Homo-oligomer: A and B are copies of this chain.
Amino acid sequence: MEFTFEVRESDLMGRIGRLRVGGKALDTPCLLPVIHPVNQLVTTQELELMGFKGLMTNSYIILSRRRDEALKEGIHRMLQYEGVFMTDSGGYQVLEYGDIEVGYRRVASFQESIGSELSVTLDKPTGFSASEKYARSSMEYSLKNAITTINEYGQGKTVWVGPIQGGLFPLLLSKSASSLVKAGFEFLALGSPVEVMKNYKFPDLLSMVATTRRAIPYSVPLHLFGAGHPLTMALAVALGCDTFDSASYMLFAKDGRFMTEHGVSRLEAMKFLPCSCPICANTTVAGLLELDFTERTRSLALHNLYLLRKEIEVCREAIAEGRLWDLVQEKAIVHPRLFDAFKRLSKAIDLLLDGTPLLKDKGLFVRDRRDLARPELARASGRLKQSVMRSSNSAVLVISEVPLPLSKTRLQDHKLPSECDFYRLHPTLGPYPAELEFVYPFTQTVASSGACGKAQTAAAQKQLRNWGYSEVLLVNVDVDRRNSIAEPRSRQRPKGSSPSPPSSLAPPRLPRPP
């Protein structure tokens, strides 16, 4: 079956892509709502109308409970849905029910026969609190099934999705992921993050996804099993997860819980519905509570789906606008544990740099020192260090607000020597050659006042020392910053005095073009 994945735009490791399978298309990032093959309160038609182009369902449950029908009609006709189906192998259920008759062959043949487009090979979920021994054995079992399946069946009738297991053990995750790619899998799915998320172990989620992403090529799409939570979606997208499935909308609904941008609340504990979706626009908390269980559950499920649908669109638009870092931060600020994960995002800078464009249309926001880890700034800082070198002894001008180059008249106004090197001052990167003035992201940075004071000043001082200028003259730099920067071995010009001539007038070595 035809399978392609095309990345159209990217930011951090997040990608807007198009996944084509069997003549159908999924735009990514993408959420596949999980539907129950027997007992489904929200219909597939409703899901289609809401814009969901793909669904996830469980091949083992179909096999156990609607086998003949599915074989006769195929999954699409049986479940009345023409979009893309991904079928989970049901490895979890097989394990739970101890159904030893179901081996990888039975699962694979069935998935092929019912016409699923994306079929996960029979796996054994590692789980969250697994010992390394169990993690290894479940990973190896899943890997072996996967490789045997793809080799025996080929990809003529369905596209096999390779399940990555290994729990929290990085070496196991890496081995699992890279072996699957080597075996020919074009689409991988990372297992077991649900428990990690339920336990608020968001830094572990970050490590799991980053480890996996490092082990596979940029062009291979990655599915994250069961990660339909409004808080973590942006983080997972930023680390390179392309698709998600989730039954959360329904599980939460059955438990009377209402999703919001900042988490999940118990409907009974709420007073207002902070949402304008088609459900919430026409009801109230009291209105929902008056409904019978089934209708309330349906309403909550529909609301939850509208919320998740929006969160996916928010991620897509953030990638398109180049503000995915900002979105991840906006989400992270919601919960201290998620903030812990955000603080560790710089450890995945290798991945983030891969997907972040060299140029962006919009201003770059800096709130505090944590934003110094933004890939745009990390990249600019690296280039500055690599490219700007000089051995002359001429004076430096660090100029903050005056546009450059200065006219002769302005030079005279400021009583500057007619030849000297010009620099501007970046709020976080420190001084940079005036020639870079309009190169992204130097003047495009919008920083919170005093956000990076000390770190920035220290960096500037170090740079000035390293660049070996004998004299540093500061013009139009705001007063606070002047006082701190002038310190190391420069001097501030007394008002009205004329500068001592620079000891060398050699022009600065221009930075290499970016």
Contacts and interface: CB of A to CB of B under 8 A. Distances in A.
Interface of A: 16, 50, 260-262, 265, 269-278, 281, 306-307, 309-310, 313-314, 316-318, 320-321, 326-327, 329-330, 333-337, 339-340, 343, 361, 365-368, 446-449, 451
B448 A337 contact: yes
B262 A446 contact: no
B330 A334 contact: yes
Given A306-B281, A367-B339, A449-B340, A272 B317 contact: yes
Given A365-B335, A366-B336, A451-B336, A317 B276 contact: no
A366 B335 CA distance: 8
Contacts of A330: 262, 330, 333-334
A440 B282 CA distance: 37
A365 B336 CA distance: 6
The count of identical subunits is 2
A-B interface, 4 closest residue pairs, ranked by CB to CB distance from nearest: A336-B448, A276-B306, A274-B314, A276-B310
Contact of A281 (B50, B333, B334, B339): B50
A272 B316 contact: yes
Given A262-B330, A330-B262, A334-B326, A277 B270 contact: no
Contacts of A335: 365, 446
Given A310-B276, A333-B333, A334-B326, A271 B316 contact: yes
A262 B365 CA distance: 13
Given A336-B447, A340-B448, 11 more contacts: A269-B361, A271-B317, A272-B316, A272-B317, A274-B318, A275-B276, A276-B276, A276-B278, A281-B306, A326-B334, A329-B333
Interface centre among A50, A281, A314, A366 (most CB of B within 10 A): A281
Main secondary structure of the interface of A (DSSP, over half): mixed
A335 B335 CA distance: 19
A266 to B, nearest CB: 11
Contacts of A326: 262, 334
8 contacts: A270-B320, A270-B321, A275-B276, A278-B281, A335-B365, A336-B367, A336-B446, A343-B448
Contacts of A277: 276-278, 281
Contacts of A343: 448
A451 B365 CA distance: 22
Nearest to A451: B336
A307 B448 contact: no
A361 B269 CA distance: 10
Interface centre among A16, A270, A334, A361 (most CB of B within 10 A): A334
A365 B335 CA distance: 7
A269 B336 CA distance: 34
Contacts of A265: 321
Given A330-B262, A336-B446, A336-B451, A310 B367 contact: no
B340 A271 contact: no
A57 to B, nearest CB: 23
Contacts of A336: 365-367, 446-448, 451
A390 to B, nearest CB: 32
Contacts of A366: 336
A274 B306 CA distance: 11
A310 B275 contact: yes
A413 B146 CA distance: 51
Contacts of A273: 313, 317
Nearest to A278: B278
Contacts of A313: 272-276
Nearest to A311: B274
A367 B276 contact: no
Contact of A309 (B50, B271, B276, B318): B276
Interface centre among A276, A310, A333 (most CB of B within 10 A): A276
Contacts of A365: 335-336
Given A281-B278, A367-B339, A271 B320 contact: yes
A53 to B, nearest CB: 13
A83 to B, nearest CB: 17
B320 A272 contact: yes
A315 B456 CA distance: 36
A22 to B, nearest CB: 24
Given A326-B334, A367-B333, A448 B339 contact: yes
Contacts of A260: 317
Contacts of A447: 336
A413 B271 CA distance: 48
A125 to B, nearest CB: 28
Interface centre among A50, A333, A336 (most CB of B within 10 A): A336
A270 B333 contact: no
Contacts of A318: 274
A26 to B, nearest CB: 15
Contacts of A262: 326-327, 330
